[in-house]
Structure 1
Amino acid sequence: MDVISEAVEDLRIGQVYGRRAEVPATFAGRFEACEGVGFHVLLRGEGWLISGSAAPMRMRAGDVAVVPHGAAHGFGPQPCTLAELPAAPMGIPAAPAEPMPVDMICGIYRLERGGSVHPFLRSLPDVLLIASDARLAALAELLTEDLGRPREGMLVNHRALVDLVLVHALRLWQAACRGAAPPWDALTDRGIAAALREIHASPEAPWTVERLSRTAGMSRTAFTRRFTALVGVPPMTYLIGRRLHRGAQLLRETDAPLSAIARRVGYATEFAFAGAFRREFGLPPGRFRGLTEPLLLREAG
């Protein structure tokens, strides 16, 4: 199971935002919590990455900070607590007249209209500090250039570049943790991993807890207990979430009729799908489709 691909694909139902910020060496700011996944790439200068759950971490030029489930975090010129940082300024800052000591780009997928971050991302620490490599540096350079000037194809390019930065940063994190921590506890259990693979491969199948427990080679009770402990939600809750996130992707990326999408994600009728979709995302599928057009990258934070 390619958990990074699954997690990043889930984010595509959200909106992409981003900005470049050149600030003084004394800059200090706190980014409030949100439902989504973000990152900061430090292009020039240095400072400290601050979170509410770990000691301050030194950031140097080239480093990438990933916020895998939207936890509150901050950046400052010296170690401090999150509460000591002022709120980061909103909006896109004007380009300075001359280069500033600290230069960074920020990007985020924000799930503003319902949905939730994939359990794999939610299982990670609040912030990840990753040393860049040549590929990540090249992606950051491309994103920085695209943020600087609008041109044809930018809507597609921005989203693709944010995807690539996140995927490559998460790969580097996994590689650095190999042997020290698993990528996701749920995938270390052979039975639960087998059930997850089946759900992701065929979310539309008529799954039941009994059928999934047989796939996992466990009793129904043991399977439900183990799945909930490792994944964070019961099996059928996870299945429904997969179906509805897949439906949201199809609404966003295709012009297929609602009845066809409902069948493709395991609902007998479009009315059943629409009801479940409204409960998950807070609005009907038709309105969701109309409101989720790709956006130009703008403010992140």
Structure 2
Amino acid sequence: MDILSEAIGSVRTGRAQVCRVRESGSWGMRVPAFAGSGLHLLLRGSAWLITATGRPRALKAGDVVLTPSGAEHGLSHAPCLLKDLPPAVPRDPDPADVEFLCGAYWLDHGQVHPYLRALPEVIVLSRDNGRTSQLRSLADLLAVDVSDTQPGSGATRPALLVLLLTHVLRQWLAQNRDADRPEIGDPAIAVALREIHTSPHKPWTVQQLGETVGMSRTGFTKRFTALVGKPPMTYLIGWRLTYGARLLRETKAPLSAIARQVGYSTEFAFGAAFRREYGIAPGRFRDLESRRARGA
């Protein structure tokens, strides 16, 4: 598994939200910083992207604004200062001058993946930059799904949103190959990541992971840390807990079984590590996620 796949996988442990926003006349909205990743897709009309440090940037229909690690930003009908924008308040004027989709994965527990934090705070992908037909198709599907009230939206919207996030990041990375970003295709580290992700239950050590990819312990640790942004064992623990959170959310397996599946000998050891990472006990986390899924 490559680092981009792991970063997107960590986002999926969060809470997905998608909405359609319509504005007209003089308008503006400030989106506060949050733990997670989000995007805006301008469907119709024009707008200005407002950030805390850069100059306002004009947006047109088809442009995508991505905040990989949830940086504060704003959208407005005209250039302005971010501090002058009001908090986002849903409106639905008719007729509307501008229309866009807002989607985000909110991490109620845990932190944004280091790879996403290493990317620019705000990324703009313009429709003039050769967007792929797949990206346009995903955007169209998500726009239709947001307007659909049929059963199943709780499954389709998170899936479409994560696909859209993935394609936007792929497109940006393809257009910015010279950017100061770690290569995500390193063969040796890719093998190590695959071993960690497919077999988190194994009692891995740095020495064993290094031997698996034919590297010395020291050389493997240096290369892994430089590429991934974390030492091997720190990353392994993070993935075990991320995977554990997904199993808690998506399955009804008992805590003891999940603990063994992600590399902990007992549910008590898993619970202690989970609380250190997420600030909440596994059982409580599962209960909250179950309530949220039911709309409670």
Bin of the TM-score, shorter chain as denominator length: 0.7 to 0.9
Alpha-carbon shift at residue 277 of structure 1 (Å): 0.8
**Aligned position for 1:280:** 277
Alpha-carbon shift at residue 40 of structure 1 (Å): 0.3
Distance change (3 Å), C-alpha of 1:27 and 1:190 = same
Q: Is the 8 A contact 1:56 1:79 kept in 2?
A: yes
**Aligned position for 1:87:** 86
Question: Any idea what the Cα deviations from partners look like across 1:62-106, whole Å, max 9, x if unmatched?
Answer: 111111111111122344443x3423324x43x32x221111110
Q: In the alignment, which of 176, 197, 203 is matched to residue 194 of structure 2?
A: 197
User: 2:293 and 2:99 mapped to 1: Cα distance?
Assistant: 24
Alpha-carbon shift at residue 189 of structure 1 (Å): 4.8
SS across alignment from 1:292: helix
Q: Is the 8 A contact 1:25 1:102 kept in 2?
A: no
| 2:106 pairs with 1:110 | yes
Alpha-carbon shift at residue 152 of structure 1 (Å): 1.5
Distance change (3 Å), C-alpha of 1:87 and 1:107 = same
User: 1:191 and 1:153 mapped to 2: Cα distance?
Assistant: 40
User: 2:56 and 2:217 mapped to 1: Cα distance?
Assistant: 44
User: 1:61 and 1:171 mapped to 2: Cα distance?
Assistant: 20
SS across alignment from 2:58: strand
Q: Is the 8 A contact 2:192 2:209 kept in 1?
A: yes
The runs of 5 or more residues in structure 2 that have no matched partner are: none
8-17 or 31-40, which moves further after superposition?
Answer: 8-17
User: 1:88 and 1:296 mapped to 2: Cα distance?
Assistant: 28
| 1:206-225 matched pairs, under 5 angstroms | 206-215=203-212, 217-225=214-222
User: 1:234 and 1:186 mapped to 2: Cα distance?
Assistant: 17
User: 2:212 and 2:71 mapped to 1: Cα distance?
Assistant: 35
Question: Any idea what the Cα deviations from partners look like across 1:19-64, whole Å, max 9, x if unmatched?
Answer: 2111125322221111101010111111222333544332110111
**Aligned position for 1:101:** 97
Structure with higher RCO (Cα < 8 A, 6+ apart): 1
Alpha-carbon shift at residue 284 of structure 1 (Å): 1.2
**Aligned position for 1:246:** 243
SS across alignment from 1:203: coil
Task: State the one-letter code of the partner of 1:154.
Answer: S
220-229 or 272-281, which moves further after superposition?
Answer: 220-229
Q: Is the 8 A contact 2:3 2:228 kept in 1?
A: no
Alpha-carbon shift at residue 260 of structure 1 (Å): 1.2
| 2:175 pairs with 1:180 | no
**Aligned position for 1:69:** 69
| 2:116 pairs with 1:121 | yes
Identity %: 49
Normalization by structure 1: what TM-score? 0.85
Distance change (3 Å), C-alpha of 1:162 and 1:296 = farther
Task: State the one-letter code of the partner of 1:284.
Answer: A
Alpha-carbon shift at residue 244 of structure 1 (Å): 0.3
**Aligned position for 1:256:** 253
Task: State the one-letter code of the partner of 1:131.
Answer: S
Alpha-carbon shift at residue 245 of structure 1 (Å): 0.3
Aligned length in residues: 290
SS across alignment from 1:187: coil
